[in-house]
Chain A
Amino acid sequence: MDFYFGLAQVIGVHTLLGLSAYIVLLTGQVSLAQAGFYAIGAYVAGMLTVLGGWHLVPALGASAVCGAAVACAVGFPALRVKGLMLVIATLAFGEGVRLFFFNFDYQIARGEIKVGPLGGEGFRQIRFFPENGWSTLEVMLFVWLFVVAAMALLWWFDRSRYGTVLRAVGEDELAAQSVGINLTAVKVSAMTVGGAIAGVGGGLYAHYTTHIEHSSFNILVATFAIAYPIVGGLRSVFGTLLAVVFVQGFLIEGLRFLGDWRNLLFGALIVLAMNLRPSGLLGTRRRA
């Protein structure tokens, strides 16, 4: 049973990662910076619980704030460019964050061993959960508390005027601008919310894997962040959740019985899914 609880943790955290890209995608922007915010959240929360001795909840709050602040700061200059340029700009930012942590050392002595991030060696022993006796089930419920909160928030956004504004910008910027929507405010706010969600996701990631290093936040992670909402469809937050279950639950864990074919099918099935459902698993059929 522990395995399913563990898998649910992974699905939960990846859903947060996907949702952080979802809200940005609603405004029509493809951001590969989400892995960067995720990394920031992971390192902030890890350092606060391990080095600062904080409880995890305030540490995750700090992760959210840091993720949001950086995302907001990135949002302004990034908005100067669109389309492919934005994809590459955000990709460069995400890689920049990864490379920063690759060069980042901050260790303090704890007893006879040193703890804290150590550049390319990574940051080990982020053991808040096991040290405080949390069972896998409890950790899973804790993770899903955040997932449900984030999904509820975004779902409510979607139903509110704000959601309509986001989608309006995503559909046609010019038209949105001409009815008096402030593009900058809308895009930067979406980026900020996305940064906060990715920050929390990263903080949780650091704690359930207990070890983080720069390579845990590479381009593949950034690509998956946008892959979830795209594969799932942008119609609602449930698309993202479904896509995470499809990728993590089905393609990675569910196909294990296929042995060696599994890793080949991984890419092939993503290609197939996009061919069959170009606007996502839960997407609407869009006008041609």
Chain B
Amino acid sequence: MKKVALAAALALCFGVAQAQDKSIKISGFGAKTGPVRGFGVNSEAAMLAAAEVINKAGGVKLADGTKAKIAVDFYDDACNAEQGISVVRRIAGTDALVAIGPTCSNVAEPLFGILQKKVGDASDSGLQFPIFTDVAIKVGLAKISEWAFRNVPNEMIMYSSVFYWLRTTRPELKTVYGGVEEDFAHSRATWHVVMKDRAQANNFTVVGESKWLLADTNFATQVREMKKANADVIAISAHPFSMCGALKEMARQGVKPKVLVGLTSSSTTETLQGCGKQVQGMIIPTSFAPVTKDGKYASAETAKKKGAADLHSMAAWENMFILKDVMESEKITGKDVQGDRRKIRDGLAKLKQTKGLMGVTKRTDDREADKPYLFVQAKGNEWVVLHNPL
């Protein structure tokens, strides 16, 4: 990677216009420190794998007709707002044209805040640098800045679909009970803003909710409340660690809902490793499962780079290809860094739809994605596809 960058620098210095010497840099950033390290590792692997595939096919075509290779580097932000901001300023100081990240919503939120709010607003001194998020999923973040784009699943639509499907296929189910990890921005919003609302919209009665914290260890009281409510459906909006704790307590107390619904970020191997036995049968809507030909290929390539393919890392993979297309359609020059960044931003903003691993993703006006999704269920040692609603 360094060699490629060095070559690029040399090429610029001497004005050599040989195709194989040119490179376009895309930087990734995310958490590689702390409990969410897995996300960063997987995203980096997916980006490297995607870049390799693109480069093997010749690379990106520039405005002057020559081809450039894609170079990827990845920075760790430790899921910390200050580090995230520093990292993006550092990336913006290099010749990278666009960044993919971050992992955590609590980094994305401040980060989008330091970007320029409205493009071309000279009175706003915010950073002018396009960011195309793969993982941070908390609802409605991209509207913070016109330089922020996301390719994350739309939980509103996915859970709407889950509850609609349950309503139509299992009419005997009437009541829903929620379990929510209250102190984590994403899981909290997903229950209070998304799941609860969507369940009610589909004529379910929400009979109650239990709250716990990200690092909680004792779920006895919450599960007892859950048991009393005796709901048909239990929806758990929590990340693997606390979800596993709660599921294990549910097993102990003998709470067996007819249907168990989970948080989209928990449809990963993490959950299966933490509590494979208790999670059996849980239904989760997700924007990725290795079922299509493209999906299988992307998983295999990412595995070669020692990363797992899940809905988050595969968004990073998709982002690489979307960016390649945008760079070609917007005719970036590979010479004028700030001009190219603006072109990429405008190109991303123009997109009405993109090609994804699971099919066509619609792009919304507030720079979010409306990705195809399907329902997976924990069975044995993997997540198997239960239903494709599209």
Please name all residues of chain A whose beta carbon is closer than 8 Å to the beta carbon of B117 when the two chains form the complex. 127, 130-131
Question: Is the beta-carbon distance between B82 and A10 smaller than 8 angstroms?
Answer: yes
Which one of B120-128, B247-255, B335-343 contacts A?
A: B120-128
Please name all residues of chain B whose beta carbon is closer than 8 Å to the beta carbon of A211 when the two chains form the complex. 81, 106, 109-110, 113
Hey, what's the 0/1 contact readout for A189-210 against B, CB within 8 Å counting as 1? 0000000000000000000111
Question: Is the beta-carbon distance between A120 and B188 smaller than 8 angstroms?
Answer: yes
**A1 (CB) vs chain B CBs: closest residue:** B93
Q: Is B163 an interface residue (CB 8 A)?
A: no
Please name all residues of chain B whose beta carbon is closer than 8 Å to the beta carbon of A212 when the two chains form the complex. 110
Q: Is B92 an interface residue (CB 8 A)?
A: yes
Q: Is A284 an interface residue (CB 8 A)?
A: no
Question: Is the beta-carbon distance between B113 and A127 smaller than 8 angstroms?
Answer: yes
Question: Is the beta-carbon distance between B78 and A263 smaller than 8 angstroms?
Answer: yes
Please provide the chain A residues from 29 to 76 with a CB less than 8 Å away from any CB of chain B in the complex.
none
Q: Which of B76, B110, B188 contacts A210 (CB 8 A)?
A: B110
Please name all residues of chain B whose beta carbon is closer than 8 Å to the beta carbon of A260 when the two chains form the complex. 32
17 A–B contacts from the bound complex (CB under 8 Å) = A2-B92, A10-B82, A121-B188, A122-B109, A124-B110, A125-B144, A127-B126, A130-B113, A130-B124, A131-B124, A209-B85, A211-B109, A211-B110, A212-B110, A214-B183, A256-B75, A263-B78
**Bound Cα distance A6, B184 (Å):** 27
Interface positions of B (Cβ within 8 A of A): 32-33, 75-76, 78, 81-83, 85-86, 89-90, 92-93, 106, 109-110, 113-114, 116-117, 122-127, 144, 182-185, 188-189
The smallest beta-carbon distance between B214 and chain A, in angstroms, is: 9
Instruction: Give the one of B83, B92, B113, B144 with max A CB within 10 A.
Output: B113
**Bound Cα distance A140, B216 (Å):** 39
Q: Is A176 an interface residue (CB 8 A)?
A: no
The smallest beta-carbon distance between B281 and chain A, in angstroms, is: 29
Interface positions of A (Cβ within 8 A of B): 1-3, 5-7, 10, 102, 120-122, 124-127, 129-136, 208-216, 252-253, 256, 260, 262-263, 266
Question: Is the beta-carbon distance between B183 and A120 smaller than 8 angstroms?
Answer: yes
Question: Is the beta-carbon distance between A209 and B183 smaller than 8 angstroms?
Answer: no
**Bound Cα distance A134, B126 (Å):** 8
Q: Which of A6, A125, A130, A135 contacts B89 (CB 8 A)?
A: A6
Q: Which of B76, B85, B106, B183 contacts A102 (CB 8 A)?
A: B183
Please name all residues of chain A whose beta carbon is closer than 8 Å to the beta carbon of B109 when the two chains form the complex. 122, 124, 211
Question: Is the beta-carbon distance between B182 and A7 smaller than 8 angstroms?
Answer: no
Beyond the given pairs A127-B113, A136-B89, A253-B90, 8 more chain A to chain B contacts, judged by CB atoms under 8 angstroms and listed by A's residue number, are A5-B89, A10-B86, A131-B124, A211-B113, A212-B110, A213-B106, A215-B183, A256-B76
Please name all residues of chain B whose beta carbon is closer than 8 Å to the beta carbon of A266 when the two chains form the complex. 33
Q: Which of B83, B123, B189 contacts A121 (CB 8 A)?
A: B189
Q: Which of A6, A134, A214 contacts B86 (CB 8 A)?
A: A6
Question: Is the beta-carbon distance between A135 and B183 smaller than 8 angstroms?
Answer: no
**Bound Cα distance A121, B81 (Å):** 14
The smallest beta-carbon distance between A33 and chain B, in angstroms, is: 21
Please name all residues of chain B whose beta carbon is closer than 8 Å to the beta carbon of A124 when the two chains form the complex. 109-110, 113, 144
Question: Is the beta-carbon distance between A209 and B185 smaller than 8 angstroms?
Answer: no
Also in contact, A263 and B32, with CB within 8 A (given A3-B92, A10-B82, A213-B106): yes
The smallest beta-carbon distance between B92 and chain A, in angstroms, is: 6
Please name all residues of chain B whose beta carbon is closer than 8 Å to the beta carbon of A210 when the two chains form the complex. 110, 113-114
**Bound Cα distance A186, B90 (Å):** 44
Please name all residues of chain A whose beta carbon is closer than 8 Å to the beta carbon of B33 when the two chains form the complex. 263, 266
Also in contact, A133 and B123, with CB within 8 A (given A3-B90, A121-B185, A262-B76): yes
**B108 (CB) vs chain A CBs: closest residue:** A211
Please name all residues of chain A whose beta carbon is closer than 8 Å to the beta carbon of B92 when the two chains form the complex. 2-3
**Bound Cα distance A5, B89 (Å):** 9
Also in contact, A263 and B126, with CB within 8 A (given A120-B182, A121-B185, A214-B183): no
The smallest beta-carbon distance between A98 and chain B, in angstroms, is: 10
The 3 A-B pairs with the shortest beta carbon distances in the complex, nearest first, are A210-B113, A211-B110, A130-B126
**Bound Cα distance A187, B144 (Å):** 44
Question: Is the beta-carbon distance between B125 and A129 smaller than 8 angstroms?
Answer: yes
**A215 (CB) vs chain B CBs: closest residue:** B106
